[in-house]
Amino acid sequence: MKYIIQNDKIIINDLSEFDITQILECGQVFSFEKIEENKYLVLSKNKKAIVTQSDNIVVIQTKDIEYFINYFDLDKDYNSIKQELSKNEVLKRSIEIGYGIRILKQDLFETIISFVISANNNIPRIRKSIKFLRENLGEKIDDYYAFPTLDKLLNCDVDFFVKAGLGYRSTQLYKLLRQIEELDLNALKLLDTNELRNKLISLSGIGPKVADCILLFGFSRFDVFPVDTWIEKMFCEKFENIKDRKVIRKKLVEKFGNLSGIAQQYLFYAKRSFNV
């Protein structure tokens, strides 16, 4: 999509494929805060941006222009993807609702930790826990806190994670951090999607749904389809009355192929936010 860079600002004039509220509130990301109507603080890794959206312009203000061009994947053309997916009638309706959604390219380590915390959890509580981790373990930069490093998290005991509100996920995270210490996360990027998915599922706190989220949001793999309760409901109403999530996932990936992950976001947002 088109954008202009001016000093510390990225300016977007064509809002046909960018809506900050839809992007942040479609369930893919947890480190952000609404400052006021149409104005958001967005934190990723150790970077910060202020995003302001009005009727016909978006301004992304940040010291890290290149980082956020990649983060918002601004060089990707979503209009052609939407056109392709709109051939499906169910998708067409969802895309009209969530036309401004983009899949963020999030920091891999932050994505893994965040989505383990997200398992069987609700969004306000997830955000609260992640904020606690940032503010208690993250580096203070200007007026915000970075996401904590692996080393910082390795120094925490299980009880600290309980205090962060992780509940029974505390021991899962404690174990996971020690497994990650033995891994080369960047080397995993070379694996094909199915090998990578199996590897992720073998780690503590990561099941099929969380693995798919990590693949989609952390590895930018679009040939996955995270199936949660909302997608299950949607599938039963719009496609087939099946309850087995493994079967639902298989059918959806076969249907949408390399655009599965993107299709999932439109369907999830429309179902979750507007129940259609």
List contacts with DNA (CB under 7 A). Answer: 119-122, 124-125, 128, 165, 167-168, 172, 175, 201, 203-211, 228-229
Q: How far is the CB of 238 from DNA (least distance, A)?
A: 16
Q: How far is the CB of 234 from DNA (least distance, A)?
A: 11
Pick between residue 51 and residue 214 the one whose CB is nearest to DNA.
214
Q: How far is the CB of 242 from DNA (least distance, A)?
A: 15
Pick between residue 8 and residue 207 the one whose CB is nearest to DNA.
207
Terminal alpha carbon distance of the chain? 28
Pick between residue 122 and residue 241 the one whose CB is nearest to DNA.
122
Helical residues (DSSP H) of the chain, grouped into ranges = 20-24, 65-71, 78-85, 89-97, 108-118, 123-137, 150-154, 158-163, 169-181, 185-188, 193-201, 208-217, 229-238, 245-256, 260-274
Residue where the block lists tokens 């064509």: 14
DSSP assignment of 124-184, as one string?
HHHHHHHHHHHHHHSPEETTEEPPPPHHHHHT--HHHHHHTT-TTHHHHHHHHHHHHHTS-
Pick between residue 37 and residue 124 the one whose CB is nearest to DNA.
124
Q: How far is the CB of 118 from DNA (least distance, A)?
A: 7
Q: How far is the CB of 85 from DNA (least distance, A)?
A: 22
Query: CA–CA distance from 83 to each of 79, 89, 195, 242, 263 (Å)?
Result: 6, 12, 31, 28, 12
Pick between residue 58 and residue 248 the one whose CB is nearest to DNA.
248
Gap between the Cα atoms of 198 and 225, Å rounded: 15
Q: How far is the CB of 142 from DNA (least distance, A)?
A: 28
Q: How far is the CB of 228 from DNA (least distance, A)?
A: 3
Pick between residue 48 and residue 127 the one whose CB is nearest to DNA.
127
State residue 191 phi and psi, 5-degree precision: -70, 150
Gap between the Cα atoms of 200 and 214, Å rounded: 9
Pick between residue 45 and residue 249 the one whose CB is nearest to DNA.
249
Residue type, 237: E
Q: Which of 30, 59, 38 is nearest to 121 (CA)?
A: 30
